Amino acid sequence: MIYLDNNASTKVDPEVRATVAEALELFGNPSSIHAEGRRARRAVEEAREEVARLVGARPEEVFFTSGGTEGNAMAIFGAAAAGASRKIVRTGAEHPSVRESFGRAAREFGLEEVVVDPEPSGALDPRAFSAALEGGARLASAMLANNEYGGVFPVEQVAAAAREAGALVHTDAVQAAGRIPVDAVRLGVDLLSLSAHKMHGPKGVGALYVRRGVSLEPRTPGGGQERRMRAGTENTAGIVGFGVAARLARERLAADAQAVARLRDRLERSILEGSGGARVVGAGAPRLPNTSAILFEGISGDALAIRLDLEGIAVSVGSACSSGTPEPSPALLALGLDRGDARRVVRLSLSRWTTQEEVDEASRRIAAAVLAMRETAAAPALA
Ligand code: PLP
């Protein structure tokens, strides 16, 4: 299997796997006062330090969650619950967990939701975002890196404008962390979401950075864990694995990003040369080094992804299949793609484990599949 779907999830690093297995022995409740509890607590707090270090935060600003989805919901519902302005602003390229939390928070708290789409190039114009903030806002959210085409947004500029408008600023850094440098302080954000399984950590664990001094309405009533921000006994082994994944991501970031970008560019070049009638979506914007969304003319992305799966290549499509009807991705539509084109997009996403041999083999097979599918589509139907 050639795995080119690392934006969906990544392979767990062997060092992470070994540490998680050991951490399963830490069975004490981290809130218990006895020695077994204290051992688990120490492990959780060491992981918190590592996660904080990855994003330039203080450990006390990191709150563990069950992943990116929960961190986004905590940030959005927590920030939207109170404030002077009734406006909340987000980009049109956000992950469904942000998009749907915004929609529901707007209904629940009676707020006006304003959406700023990226340019057709894939870039987000910070002036357009600032214009949407005029007159003040309660909350602004712009993802640091997009999951579908990898666009990297100017969060630092968005945050400066949002602060001026009196808004709390959230960024979804789930796809960015471990792939490009992330510094919460430099970005100037109040809230930043992370997920371990996008950086070779375990699934079901993530974190929300909450800048010191920012007060959020907690959403989970219960035992008061995570300093009352997120009740529930801590996922000790998952958190420990996240800590190791965060340390490895920090240590390897520069080398990984360079190597992965070189392979991604090689993959794009040979696919475009080999398949004709194809283009890279969002190539005009700053992009993650590992992500490539390719639009193949005359091809259904779903059909191509299924065919590639049969050939041992794992990719994703820019549409979410709900109740059997492939719906084009709102993020791709936000870039100005029509519904037909949005369905022709296939996402390839690499990791530090992707090799040049895999890239060369995948590009050959993808180009051959695309040419064969176009030929079949052009052939006259048999009577
Ligand atoms: N935000 C972005 C940009 C994502 O790509 C994802 C996962 O696909 C999430 C949030 C959700 O993260 P999790 O799977 O940890 O809930």
| Whether pLDDT at 323 is above 70 | no
For residue 67, the CA-to-ligand 1 centroid distance in Å is 7
Q: Return the pLDDT at 255.
A: 94
118 lines ligand 1 (CB under 6 A): no
The model's confidence at residue 221, banded by pLDDT at 50, 70 and 90, is: confident
The ligand 1 atom at the shortest distance from the C-alpha of residue 145 is 3
What are φ and ψ of residue 163, in 5° steps? -60, -40
CA distances from 239 to 67, 234, 338 (A): 11, 8, 41
Residues 6 or more apart in contact with residue 127 via CB below 8 angstroms? none
Mutate to test the pocket of ligand 1, among 66, 141, 146, 147 (most ligand atoms within 8 A of CB): 147
Least confident of 99-103, 216-220, 234-238: 216-220
Question: What does the alpha-carbon distance between residue 380 and residue 375 come to, in Å, rounded to a whole number?
Answer: 10
- 195 touches ligand 1 (CB under 6 Å): yes
349 lines ligand 1 (CB under 6 A): no
Helix (H), strand (E), coil (C) string for the chain: CEECECCCCCCCCHHHHHHHHHHCCCCCCCCCCCHHHHHHHHHHHHHHHHHHHHCCCCHHHEEEECCHHHHHHHHHHHHHCCCCCCEEEEECCCCHHHHHHHHHHHHHHCCEEEEECCCCCCCCCHHHHHHHHCCCCCEEECCCECCCCCEECCHHHHHHHHHHCCCEEEEECCCCECCECCCHHHHCCCEEEEEHHHCCCCCCCEEEEECCCCCCCCCCCCCCCHHHCCCCCCCHHHHHHHHHHHHHHHHHHHHHHHHHHHHHHHHHHHHHHHHCCEEECCCCCCECCCEEEEEECCCCHHHHHHHHHHCCEECEECEEEECCEEEECHHHHHCCCCHHHHCCEEEEECCCCCCHHHHHHHHHHHHHHHHHHHHHHHCCCCC
User: Which has the closest alpha carbon to 126: 162, 154, 99?
Assistant: 154
Query: Nearest CA to 214 among 231, 189, 195, 179?
Result: 189
Q: Is the Cβ–Cβ distance between 348 and 292 less than 8 Å?
A: yes
Distance 68 CA to ligand 1 centre (A): 5
**For residue 163, what pLDDT band results from cuts at 50, 70 and 90?**
very high
Q: What is the pLDDT averaged over residues 6-35?
A: 98
The predicted structure's pLDDT at residue 380: 74
Q: Do residues 216 and 266 lie in contact, with contact meaning Cβ atoms separated by under 8 Å?
A: no
Among the atoms of ligand 1, which is closest to the Cα of residue 94? 3
- Checking if the pLDDT of 322 tops 60, the result is no
Query: What spacing in Å lies between the alpha carbon of 95 and ligand 1's midpoint?
Result: 7
Which one of 195, 291, 347 would you pick to mutate in the ligand 1 pocket, going by the greatest count of ligand atoms within 8 A of its CB? 195
Cα 227 to Cα 42: distance, rounded to the nearest angstrom: 16
> Which phi and psi angles does 98 have, rounded to 5°?
-85, -45
Token representation of residue 112: 């006006």
- CA 108, 130, 178, 260 torsion: positive or negative? positive
Pocket flag, ligand 1, residue 67 (CB < 6 Å):
yes
Which two three-digit tokens encode residue 360? 């060369």
Confirm or reject: Cβ of 95 under 6 Å from ligand 1: yes
Q: What is the pLDDT of residues 175-207, one digit of tens each?
A: 999 999 999 999 999 999 999 999 999 999 999
Residue 11 Cα to ligand 1 middle (Å)? 15
97 lines ligand 1 (CB under 6 A): yes
Closest C-alpha among 42, 30, 50, 55 to residue 209: 55
Catalytic, 27? Answer no
Q: Do residues 264 and 251 make contact, with C-beta atoms less than 8 angstroms apart?
A: no
Token pair, residue 143, equals 């993802």
For residue 195, report the distance from its CA to the centre of ligand 1, in Å: 7
Instruction: For ligand 1, pick from 6, 100, 152, 175 the residue to mutate: most ligand atoms within 8 Å of CB.
Output: 175
Choose the CATH number for 2-8+253-374 among 3.90.1150.10, 1.10.20.10, 3.40.50.300, 3.40.1180.10: 3.90.1150.10
Residue nearest to atom 9 of ligand 1 (CA): 68
254-291 burial string, b = 16+ CB within 10 Å, else e? eebbebbbebbeebbebbbebbeebebbbbebebbbbb
pLDDT tens digit string along 249-306? 999 999 999 999 999 999 999 999 999 999 999 998 999 999 999 999 999 999 999 9
Each residue's pLDDT tens digit, 83-131 = 999 999 999 999 999 999 999 999 999 999 999 999 999 999 999 999 9
Boundaries of every domain in the chain: 2-8+253-374, 14-248
Q: Does 151 sit in the ligand 1 pocket, CB within 6 Å?
A: no
Residue 171 has pLDDT above 70, yes or no: yes
What is the model's pTM? 0.97
Has residue 317 got a pLDDT over 60? yes
Q: Is the pLDDT assigned to residue 321 strictly greater than 80?
A: no
Residue located nearest, by CA, to atom 8 of ligand 1: 8
7 Cα: distance to centroid of ligand 1 (angstroms): 9
Ligand 1: distance of its center to the CA of 8 in Å? Answer: 8
> The tokens of 169 are what?
């600023």
Summarize pLDDT for 27-78 with one digit per residue, the tens: 999 999 999 999 999 999 999 999 999 999 999 999 999 999 999 999 999 9
Cβ of residue 225 lying under 6 Å from some atom of ligand 1: no
Q: What pLDDT is recorded for position 107?
A: 98
**pLDDT greater than 70 at residue 382:** no
Given the CA of residue 70, which atom of ligand 1 is nearest to it?
Answer: 16
Q: Cα(21)–Cα(227) distance, rounded to whole angstroms?
A: 27
Strand pairing class (87-91; 325-328):
unpaired
Q: Quick check: 79 pLDDT over 60?
A: yes
Q: Is the pLDDT of residue 374 over 90?
A: yes
33, 185, 321, 368: the active-site residue: 321
Q: What is the CATH number of domain 14-248?
A: 3.40.640.10
Tokens of 233: 């006994």
How far apart are the CA of 103 and the centre of ligand 1, in A?
Answer: 17
Is there an atom of ligand 1 within 6 Å of 201 CB? no
